[in-house]
Amino acid sequence: MGRYVLARLWQGLLVVLGVTLTVFVVTRLVGNPVDLMLPLSASAEQRAAFAQQIGLDQPLPVQFARFLGDLATLDFGQSLWQRRPAAEVVFERLPNTALLVAAGLGAALVLAVPLGIIAATRPDGPVDRVIVGAGLLGLSMPQFWVGLILIYVFAVQLKWLPTSGSATWWHLVLPAVTLGLAPLARLTMLTRSAVIDELNKPYVKTARAKGMPRRRVLGVHTLRNVAIGVLTLAGWELILALSGYTVVVETVFAWPGIGLTAIQAIQRGDLFLVQAIVFVIAGIIVIINIALDLLFKAIDPRIDVR
Amino acid sequence: MARGAHFFDELVRDKAAMLGLIGIVTVVAVAIFAPLIAPYDPAAQDVLARLKPPAWAARGSVEHLLGTDHLGRDVLSRLIYGSRITLMIASAVALFAGALGVTIGLVSGYLGGRADSLLMRLVDIQVSFPGILLILLIVSVVGPGVTTLVVVLAITNWMIYARVVRAIVLQSRQSAYVEAAEVVGCGPVRVIWRHILPNLVAPLLTLAILEFTNIVLAEAAVSFLGLGVQPPATSWGLDVASGRDYVFIAWWLVTFPGLCIVFTVLSINLFAGWLRVTGDPQERDKRFARGVARRRPGTRAARAARAAEGAKP
């Protein structure tokens, strides 16, 4: 078990190194940080001074070494836009994103499992058809559009909920629904097909033959076997949400998380802040992946952890 | 040819898949014949006809069926031309990502050993990259544009092709016909080209069509954020973004481009879902059993199907 965790940590470290190398190449070799971050009106001396300040006058290997060293101490440089350390901005905004993702995906998971089971136990019936149809529609809609339509209906027309911002708990409802809709659709479809497949297996017939009630077969045997697949997808949804969906949803609803901050930083040419956000998200994704693997081992002892 | 006819027979029987295919054909036809269908130039501004609602609304007129935007541009014409850029970007990305993924998958699966574990590790690492955030970082450095978007989406979406191809190659490498080909002295290139590649065509086609939906949605999202397609070019995502400021007074500016995206993605999903099931013998069995059960309740096949799905006795 310990060796397994170590191996996964090593792989996680490789991912972080890969992200680091990519970010370094993209920001230092493809683009020029000085041009990106200073206004066009900056003089040649100002440019040179800034280049020296962030270490651009050093040879590339030295730059990369310093880059790695700064990362190891969570020093992402100063945010030019906020005029304070980029790490501080990221960790200040992170809880808002965590709240949004937890609310959206949590609701999706809680709803998806019962909906999927209901559909699976009545395949091709009217209820199943409605659920499958709604699911297909749900994963065919772009999130930014769903968000704007929800704003138009519930905030502009009905005036039940606020359009944007994060002042009260009511502000969380529309962004969370927008974020959770596509994951809800995918999780429901997966639960449905996994339960249908599982109910096909011989052990279900055995359990039913010895007189076990259907409900109990589902609850005791089937769900445990379906859980791994559903949780794998839920973990994947979590990663997808963190690595992109939140950017769109937070932009639509002006929700002050790191996705919105990333867009604002890009618009202001605040490279260090963008970089800091990419790193923190990459780190979180690595941790989630490891945690999920360990969770699966706990659910299904047959999984080999070497 | 007989196989093609059989395939079409099955397609006609599935209403949802047929609707999906009709939807796809419609979007493609609209994109190809855009200049013939569009009533106006999508970029032509008309200050006197700004923010006109659709024809059926109170102040609407038949001149602009779906109304006009804040610069007096015809919404319908913009949507028609928007289909072009969406399909172009998605096809280009599918082609590039597919080519890269297939090459790496073939090499990885055929060579095996060190090369395989190295390439698959690369896939693992790239799958864990924060996707859209990385796209945003690259676009913010290189500058937005169609070329950047295609390249970046291709680099972030090739991994699934590599995985699928590798799995199929590993499977067919162990088959008797590949072994026979190697025994009679076929080189690796010939084995891959003549004996392995044909096995890949159907699953890759299905995968590419399924992936198409992801690319269409990603292109729309990045363009919506202002980092993809740039004006004066048109894109559905871009149109939603520019209509966003008018959501209080002009609902049609946000609604129609979004509906176009939903229509396209839903059509592809309906068709691709059916295609996936049709290409998989196990799934076909289940579908067949269910179909029999529906048509002739009470027969043995129907009971078998019910049992198979655990329905109430």
ipTM of this complex prediction, to 2 decimal places: 0.85
In a domain, A104, yes or no: yes
Instruction: Give the pLDDT confidence of B218-231 residue by residue, as tens digits.
Output: 999 999 988 888 88
Across the interface, whether the CB atoms of A122 and B138 are under 8 A apart is answered: no
Instruction: Give the pLDDT confidence of A68-103 residue by residue, as tens digits.
Output: 888 777 777 777 787 888 888 889 999 999 999 999
pLDDT at B313 over 50: no
Q: Are B79 and B236 in contact (CB under 8 A)?
A: yes
- As given in the structure block, the two tokens for residue A252 are 């639509």
Asked if B75 is an interface residue toward chain A (Cβ–Cβ < 8 A), one would say no
3-state secondary structure of A41: coil
Asked if A31 is an interface residue toward chain B (Cβ–Cβ < 8 A), one would say yes
Asked if A13 is an interface residue toward chain B (Cβ–Cβ < 8 A), one would say no
In a domain, A52, yes or no: no
In a domain, A198, yes or no: yes
In a domain, A304, yes or no: no
CB atoms within 10 A of CB B262: 17
What is the pLDDT at residue A183? 93
Asked if A264 is an interface residue toward chain B (Cβ–Cβ < 8 A), one would say no
Instruction: Give the pLDDT confidence of A212-269 residue by residue, as tens digits.
Output: 887 888 877 888 888 888 888 888 889 888 888 889 999 999 899 999 998 888 888 7
Tell me: cis bond preceding B198? Omega within 30 of 0 counts.
no
pLDDT at A31 over 60: yes
pLDDT at B206 over 90: no
Nearest CA in chain B to A198: B309
In a domain, A143, yes or no: yes
The model's pTM is 0.85
In a domain, A48, yes or no: no
Instruction: Give the pLDDT confidence of A34-69 residue by residue, as tens digits.
Output: 776 777 777 778 778 877 777 777 777 888 888 788
Residue-averaged pLDDT of chain B: 82
d(CA B42, CA B81): 7
d(CA A189, CA B271): 16
Provide, rounded to the nearest whole percent, the portion of chain A with pLDDT above 90: 21
Residue-averaged pLDDT of chain A: 84
Task: Give the CATH number for residue A244.
Answer: 1.10.3720.10
| Identity of the amino acid at B279 | G
Query: Can you say how many angstroms the Cα of residue A245 is from the centroid of all Cα atoms in its chain?
Result: 7
Position with higher pLDDT, B12 vs A191:
A191
In a domain, A67, yes or no: no
Chain B residue numbers touching A23 (CB-CB < 8 A): 137
Domain containing residue A265: 86-299
- Highest-scoring range by mean pLDDT, A23-32, A245-254, A267-276: A245-254
Number of domains in chain A: 1
In a domain, A189, yes or no: yes
What is the pLDDT at residue B1? 45
- 3-state DSSP percent of chain A in helix, strand and coil, to 5: 80, 0, 20
Q: Which of A93, A132, A139, A144 is most worth mutating to test chain B (most B CB atoms within 10 A of its CB)?
A: A144
Instruction: Give the pLDDT confidence of B227-267 residue by residue, as tens digits.
Output: 888 888 888 999 898 888 888 888 888 899 999 999 999 99
